[in-house]
Structure 1
Amino acid sequence: MNGRVLAVILLVALLVVVFALMRRGWRARQRRQADVPAPQRTGELGEPLAGAAGMYVVTTSAGDWLDRVAVHGLGVRTDADLTVHPGGVLIARRGADDVVIPTADLESVTTTSGMAGKFVERDGLLVLTWRLGPRRVDTGFRVRHAGEQAALIAALLTLPGVRRRETPGGVPEAEPAPGTGPTEPPDSTDTSESRGPTA
């Protein structure tokens, strides 16, 4: 067996070990989050106020954009359409279950440059903070055409109880739950990603 073949075998073995550890970590995270309820999949939302195609990025614990929610498919990045309705927000995902966020559960909307391994340009991600059962979570969405993001935000701010939360410089800003101390935002390096033409 020559050195090149041995190197390939060792590399393959290393990759198998790495993926096995990643899978084990993901399953452990799912077990820890067994108490997280599944989001609504459908609901009476009314006519859409605004909508955009793009990508469902991730749902994380509110204020901690590295703490990915792994259960109910909420940690899976997919192409999706996001529409805002009087009754709430519908994220229609391709290859995964839809997510409905009722207006009563929505708290705020903001923009940022990245969360949970997805990093783009300043303010390139739309982030919704909402209540999923007893938990507060953040859901990230990236619109395909940059000009549609402002229309989504404007529509969201017409919903009762929803406010705009600023994140200076597009950097993730922790927003602790009532009664808890502030959380430092995760340190991350921004990498740019191209986006389609503005609509």
Structure 2
Amino acid sequence: MTPLTPHLAVTLAGEQKSQEVTDWAARIGWVVGLLLFIALVYWLMREGWKWRGTLQSDLPEPRPVPEGTGEARLTLTGRYHGSTTAGQWLDRIVAHGLGTRSRVELTLHPEGLAVVRPGARDFFVPAADLRGARLDKGIAGKVLAEGGLLVITWSLGDKLIDSGFRADRAAGHADWIAALGAAPHHLNTTTEGAR
């Protein structure tokens, strides 16, 4: 084996060293530009959310959960994934906090359905406004396995609404469908566009 010449040894040692950054201003400019772009996209998304709420301002406010309700017939803990116009699984409703995802505790009373959401606005659906329930696979912004989402159809004023829930234990969904009855067939089209 031949020994390395001093010139070759210096060259090999230099190749192992990374190139130093000499144009810090350009790199900082790119990073700042990227951060500004991300902030702009976030701001536009927020403005779009607020604009959708303004467009839906004619929707009446859901009732608050009453103090004295009868004995609970069914309870469910899990996640609230949002509400849409019935039959239109991508038409998210954001007015009155109905678009805010959160943990949820559903309780079915003889008087109606109490939807209690920590960190978001609670609401109550009177029994006369409940239209049915079904298993589905998606609602605006959330798609699960077939039958993984409990969708409850109810009326708010003159508008029919689908609200999507996912129980911590999905086996409990069947009890809710039995208690609320199947949703009318013409409303059971929320995910046809996703298939």
| Fold shared, TM-score > 0.5 on shorter chain | yes
1:94-126 deviations in Å (ceiling 9; x for gaps): 111212111101112111111111111111111
The match for 1:33 among 18, 43, 56 is 56
* Residue matched to 1:79: 103
> RMSD in angstroms over aligned alpha carbons?
2.1
Instruction: Tell me which protein shows more helix as a share of its residues.
Output: 2
Q: Is the 8 A contact 2:73 2:107 kept in 1?
A: yes
* Residue matched to 2:43: 20
Which runs of 5 or more residues in structure 2 are unaligned?
A: 1-23
The match for 2:132 among 89, 108, 117 is 108
* Residue matched to 2:11: none
Distance of aligned partners of 1:120 and 1:3 in 2 relative to their CA distance in 1, 3 Å threshold:
farther
Kindly state the Cα deviation for residue 156 of structure 1 after the two structures are TM-superposed: 2.1
1:62-121 deviations in Å (ceiling 9; x for gaps): 111111111111000000111112211111101112121111011121111111111111
TM-score (norm 2): 0.79
Aligned mates of 2:183, 2:86 — CA distance in 1: 15
Q: Is the 8 A contact 2:104 2:115 kept in 1?
A: yes
- Secondary structure class of the residue paired with 1:111: strand
* Residue matched to 1:5: 28
**Amino acid of the residue matched to residue 74 of structure 2?**
A
* Residue matched to 1:131: 155
**Amino acid of the residue matched to residue 113 of structure 2?**
V
Aligned mates of 1:55, 1:4 — CA distance in 2: 43
Aligned mates of 2:171, 2:132 — CA distance in 1: 20
Aligned mates of 1:119, 1:29 — CA distance in 2: 21
Q: Is the 8 A contact 1:80 1:93 kept in 2?
A: yes
Aligned mates of 1:10, 1:173 — CA distance in 2: 44
* Residue matched to 1:187: 194
Aligned mates of 1:187, 1:90 — CA distance in 2: 30
Q: Is the 8 A contact 1:110 1:166 kept in 2?
A: no
* Structure label with greater radius of gyration: 2
Which runs of 5 or more residues in structure 1 are unaligned?
A: 158-162, 175-183, 189-199
* Residue matched to 1:173: 189
Percent identity among equivalent residues?
38
Q: Is the 8 A contact 1:84 1:156 kept in 2?
A: no
Paired residues for 1:136-147 under 5 Å? 136-147=160-171
Distance of aligned partners of 1:81 and 1:31 in 2 relative to their CA distance in 1, 3 Å threshold:
same
* Residue matched to 1:193: none
**Amino acid of the residue matched to residue 187 of structure 1?**
A
Aligned mates of 1:55, 1:41 — CA distance in 2: 19
